[in-house]
Structure 1
Amino acid sequence: MSKPLALTLGEPAGIGPDIALAAWLGRAQSQIPAFYLLGDRDFLQARAAALGLTVQLADVTPDQAAARFAEALPVVGTGHRVTATPGHPDASSAPAAIGAIRQAVADVVAGHAAAVVTNPIAKSVLYQAGFKHPGHTEFLAELGRGEGPAPQPVMMLWSQTLAVVPVTIHLPLRAAIAQLSTELIVSTARIVADALKRHMKIAAPRLAISGLNPHAGENGGLGSEEHSIIAPAIEILRGDGIDARGPLPADTMFHEAARATYDCALCMYHDQALIPVKTLAFDRAVNVTLGLPFVRTSPDHGTAFDIAGSGRADPSSLIEALRLAARMAAPLPPS
């Protein structure tokens, strides 16, 4: 990969800085692609010292990052000085986190970076600073809109074991059921199928689509949504030439033999998708945002304020996020 990945700082009081430093230190063993970290160099140097890590940092421009990566962790400044300490966000936290996200997207759009990889943010901290978006995903969609309407962002949780997509995401269960529609399932599945082809290099993606109700509704005995909403979506997708199966009972979709029959499972609500992937791949799952005009991945965990600065943070999910971003950003092979 000729261009580096742009890695955001995330919430500076969380474990984002810790795992970024650890990922760079383990670069040879984990064979991760070149990246640069968007943040405050002095802050990162202080965090490395507090963790007892010997890390050479290099102030660079994005175009210089790949050449310096083997010898030093490339750092691209955002102009935001950070004063937060481990576990204790302060007034510098939100500007630093938001500034890094904005710059990462701008760097990819300008052709200086191959993809965006985001460290965890603390939404409550951002809200207190006036942040108007529900979270990372919606902010990235806004940044990626250009002159047209904002794209539909789709959240995929990916691992070597299982890939899942919740059709409805961060909603109370009652609201998720109310929002569910044939149109939403179809638009989500189309984005997933396209991403699996373009970014995962799967020529003919296989989608398994869950039901909503127990036992996929028991032929209407336990609910009608499978017949009225989900089955019509599957017929439309098949008409598009997409290999979509379902509605399938969610309680039998995730054992080993079932997982071998599909490339991605589309589930109707958050926990239906995230419980199996976090059970099977808790430390190595990656959060991927599909539907954006750029590749974005992220570790599938939060800021972990309670262990920030302690040296106990596991960089495994970030390492997988970096690897996956590089894979997704790689061009398709010639046909």
Structure 2
Amino acid sequence: MIPRIAFTPGEPAGIGPELAVRLAGAGSFAQGAGGSAQIVAIADPQLLQQAAAQLHQPLELLPFDPAAPAQATPAGALYIQPTALATPAEAGKLNPANAAYVLDTLRIAAEGCLARRFDALVTGPVHKGVINDAGISFSGHTEFFADLAGVERVVMMLAAEELRVALVTTHLPLKDVSAAITGPRLEQIITILHRSLRHQFRIDAPRIGVCGLNPHAGEGGHLGREEIEVIEPALDKLRALGIQLIGPLPADTLFTPPQLARCDAVLAMYHDQGLPVLKFKGFGHAVNITLGLPFIRTSVDHGTALNIAGQGIADSGSLRAAMSQAIELAQLRHL
């Protein structure tokens, strides 16, 4: 089975176009995934050729025919579904005029996944600020795809090597986190995480470590009562359904090797509780995975890197890891 993977390079002024060219030049899109794939870039062809010229690297763009059988992408090439920029992009310089282009690429790719034209979607980095500067409300890929797919709740999980970290809250100010952590939300997110670990990652009996919100997990209520009043009751309800949950434990205890050895995934309460550990362990080859969508979506673990865009020095390791993970998950789905 040759999976067909949609790929969106993201912000045209960032490093995404360069990463696309490097991905094509790598020659193998399935390192560690046990097979080949057809990679279809949803992008402006001139933008990719411009990036290839800056890198002095040949790039062949092959026409994409969704009606034809999937074919492995040859080295030095990408299949292309052309989507036009509103205005030419300049590396390192954001232009709100191209915000709609970025969202068009995401929409085309996601709709293709929903229509089963693609087996998975891999996304490059976007710039939330410039999209909002264009007058378009946008909080991130995760929320955009959930809205498009009509899904009430999705879960952001990052993975590097054997460490998987999922989040209860994502892009929220810290002052709003406590109010957002409710029993129903925890139950939804842990159910999605448990189901995804079983069915997407083929872990028969997943063990999930759960962080507390407060220092020392509240210290018996002396440093906060969210653990006692919200988190522990939700975990007890889910344990009664057979889900294996460890915690809530203090984050500085749970993120230690002996505790991590007991877990297939860790659930952090907020963005900067879990992701610094994950990125310290695996920055440059970590993968962002959206759980709970009706299609497979992976992404890079970094931003647009405008400060180095166009200089030919961007590291494509995270994109290669995201592509490999998408291919592997697509193949597992077909088993």
Matches within 5 A, 1:5-20: 5-20=5-20
- Which residues of 2 match residues 133-144 of structure 1 at below 5 A? 133-144=138-149
Aligned ranges 1:235-314 → 2 under 5 Å:
235-314=236-315
CA deviation string 1:119-146 (max 9, x = no partner)? 111111111222223221111111111x
CA distance in 2, matches of 1:30, 1:202: 21
Question: Is the 2:7–2:121 Cα contact (8 Å) retained in structure 1?
Answer: yes
**Structure 1 consecutive aligned stretches of length 4 or more whose deviation exceeds 6 Å:** none
Contact 2:29 2:37 in 1 (8 A): no
Residue in structure 2 matched with residue 97 of structure 1 by the alignment:
102
Change (3 A) 1:198 1:184: same
1:46 corresponding residue in structure 2: 50
Seen in structure 2, the aligned counterparts of structure 1 residues 257 and 182 have a Cα distance that, compared at 3 Å, is same
Q: Deviations over 1:258-306 (max 9, x none)?
A: 2111011011111111111011111111111111111111101100011
Q: Which runs of 5+ in 1 are unaligned?
A: none
1:223-277 deviation per Cα after TM superposition (whole angstroms, max 9, x unaligned):
2211111111110111121111111111111222221110110111111111110
Distance across 2 between alignment mates of 1:332 and 1:112 = 15
- Secondary structure of the structure 2 residue equivalent to 1:49: helix
The match for 1:233 is: 234
The residue that corresponds to 1:4 in the other structure is 4
| Alpha carbons 1:7, 1:35 under 8 Å: kept | yes
TM-score by length of 2: 0.93
Separation of aligned partners in 2, 1:332 and 1:241: 24
Query: Which residue does the alignment assign to 2:112?
Result: 107
Residue among 62, 68, 71 paired with 1:67: 71
The runs of 5 or more residues in structure 2 that have no matched partner are none
Give 3-state SS (helix, strand or coil) of 1:218's partner. helix
- Which residue number corresponds to residue 27 of structure 1? 27
Match of 1:117 in 2: 122
Give the superposed CA RMSD.
Answer: 1.9
> Whole-Å Cα distance in 2 between the matches of residues 69 and 101 of structure 1?
21
Cα distance in 2 for partners of 1:222, 1:98 equals 43
Which residue matches 2:225?
Answer: 224
CA distance 1:96–1:62, change in 2 (3 Å): farther
Matches within 5 A, 1:174-193: 174-193=175-194
Is contact 2:125–2:303 with CA below 8 Å preserved after alignment?
yes
Partners of 2:183 and 2:231 within 8 A in 1? yes
> 2:178 and 2:191 mapped to 1: Cα distance?
20
What fraction of aligned residue pairs are identical, expressed as a percent?
40
Change (3 A) 1:170 1:330: same
* Structure 1 counterpart of 2:135, one-letter code: G
The alignment's TM-score, normalised by the length of structure 1, stands at: 0.93
Partner in structure 2 of residue 327 of structure 1: 328
Cα distance change of structure 1 residues 103 and 212 upon mapping to structure 2, 3 Å threshold? same
**Structure-2 residue corresponding to 1:58:** 62
Asked if the contact 2:2–2:38 (Cα under 8 Å) also holds between the matched residues in 1, the reply is no
Comparing 110-119 with 126-135, greater Cα deviation is found at 126-135
Q: Which residue number in structure 2 is paired with residue 316 of structure 1?
A: 317
Change (3 A) 1:324 1:87: same
What number of residue pairs does the alignment pair up? 330
For residue 163 of structure 1, what is the aligned residue in structure 2?
164
Residues 215-224 or 30-39, more deviating: 30-39
